[in-house]
Structure 1
Amino acid sequence: MLPGTAVRWATKHGFMRAAIKTAARKGDPQARFFFDPVVRRDPYPFYRTVRETAPLVRGRLMWATAHHDLAGAVLRNDAFGVGFTDRRLPAPVGLMFRFSRRSSPIGPVDPPSMLVVDPPDHTRYRRLVSKVFTARAIEGLRPRIEATCAELLRDKPADLVADFAALLPVTVIAEILGIPLDMRRQFLAWGNAAAPTLDMGLAFRQYRRTEINIKHVNTWMRGHFARLRREPGDDLLSQLVQLDDLGDDELLATAGLLLAAGFETTVNLLGTGAWLLMRHPDQLAVLRDRPERWPNAVEETLRYDSPVQLTARVCQRPAELGGRRIEPGQVVMAMLAGANRDPAVFADPDAYDVTRPNARDHLSFSGGVHYCLGAALARLEGEIGLRMLFERYPDLRIDGEPRRRTTRVLRGLESLPVTI
Structure 2
Amino acid sequence: MEIFSSYNVIIEISLIIILSFIFNEVAKRTNIPAVLMLIVLGIIIQYSLKAVGGDMFNFLPLLEILGIVGLIMIVLEAALELELKRDKLIPILKSLAIALIGLVASTFIAAVILKALVKDMSMQSAWLYATPLSILSSAIIIPSVSGLSEAKKEFHIYESTFSDILGIMLFYFLAGTLNPSESGGVGGFFLNLILTIVISIVASYAIILIFQKIKSQVKLFLLIAVLLLLYAIGKKLHMSSLIIILIFGLVITNMKLFFQGPLKEYLDVEKAKHIYHELHVITAETAFVVRTLFFVIFGITIVLSSLLSLKVTLISILILVSIYAIRYGLLRLFLGKDIFPQLFIAPRGLITVLLFYAIPAEAMVEGFEPGVLLFVIIGTSLIMTWGMIRDKKQNPQLVAEEDEQLEEAAGEAEFFINNATDLSDIDGGSTANPENTGE
Normalised TM-score (structure 1):
0.31
Higher strand fraction: Structure 1 or Structure 2? 1
- Please give the TM-score of this superposition, normalised by the length of structure 2: 0.30
